[in-house]
Structure 1
Amino acid sequence: MFKKLKASLGIGATTVDTILSNDSVYQGETLKGTVHIKGGDVEQQVDAITLKLCTEVKVESDSGVSYQPFVLGHIQANDPLVVQPGETKEVPFELKLHDETPITAINAKLNQSHVWLETSLDIDFAIDPKDRDYIEIRPLPVVQRIINTIEREGFTMVKADVEKGQLRGNGFMSRSGCYQELEFKNSGMFNRKEIELSFILDGGVIHCLAEIDRSFGRGDMYRSFTVTRDASDGEVQQALRAVLSA
Structure 2
Amino acid sequence: MFKKILASVGIGAAKVDTVLETEHLNPGQKFQAQIIVNGGDVVQEVSGLELALMTRIKHESDDGEYFTNHVIEKWHIGERFTIGPEEQVVIPFEARLHSETPITEINAGYNYSFVWLETGLDIDLALDPSDKDTLHIYPNEAVKTCMAAMEKLGFSLIKADVEQGYLKASDFQSLSGCYQELEYRPNNQSIFGIQEIELSFVPEAHKTHVLIELDRAFRSDGYVDLTIEHDQVNLSTICDQLERLFA
Alignment of 1:89-108 (within 5 A): 89-108=89-108
Structure 2 unaligned runs (5+)?
A: none
CA distance in 2 between partners of 1:72 and 1:218 (Å): 35
Please state how far the C-alpha of 1:63 moved relative to its aligned partner: 4.6
Map of 1:186 onto structure 2 = 186
CA contact (8 A) 2:150 2:239 kept: no
CA contact (8 A) 2:54 2:71 kept: yes
Map of 2:46 onto structure 1 = 46
Which stretches of structure 1, 4 residues or longer, exceed 3 Å deviation after superposition? 61-64, 189-192
AA at the equivalent of 1:228: E
CA contact (8 A) 1:19 1:34 kept: yes
| Post-superposition CA distance 1:45-103 (Å, at most 9, x none) | 11011000111111224454321111111111111111110111111111211111111
CA distance in 2 between partners of 1:229 and 1:190 (Å): 29
CA contact (8 A) 2:168 2:174 kept: yes
CA distance in 2 between partners of 1:38 and 1:73 (Å): 25
CA contact (8 A) 2:153 2:239 kept: no
Total equivalences in the alignment: 244
| Post-superposition CA distance 1:148-191 (Å, at most 9, x none) | 11011221111001111112223111122111100011132364
Does the alignment pair 1:16 with 2:16? yes
Map of 1:173 onto structure 2 = 173
| SS across alignment from 2:156 | strand
CA contact (8 A) 1:170 1:224 kept: no
Map of 1:143 onto structure 2 = 143
| SS across alignment from 2:143 | helix
CA contact (8 A) 1:209 1:225 kept: yes
Q: TM-score, normalised by structure 1?
A: 0.94
The worse-fitting range, judged by mean Cα deviation, of 53-62 and 193-202 is 53-62
Q: How many percent identity over aligned positions?
A: 42
The worse-fitting range, judged by mean Cα deviation, of 121-130 and 229-238 is 229-238
CA RMSD after TM alignment: 1.5
Map of 1:207 onto structure 2 = 209
| SS across alignment from 2:51 | strand
Structure 1 unaligned runs (5+)?
A: none
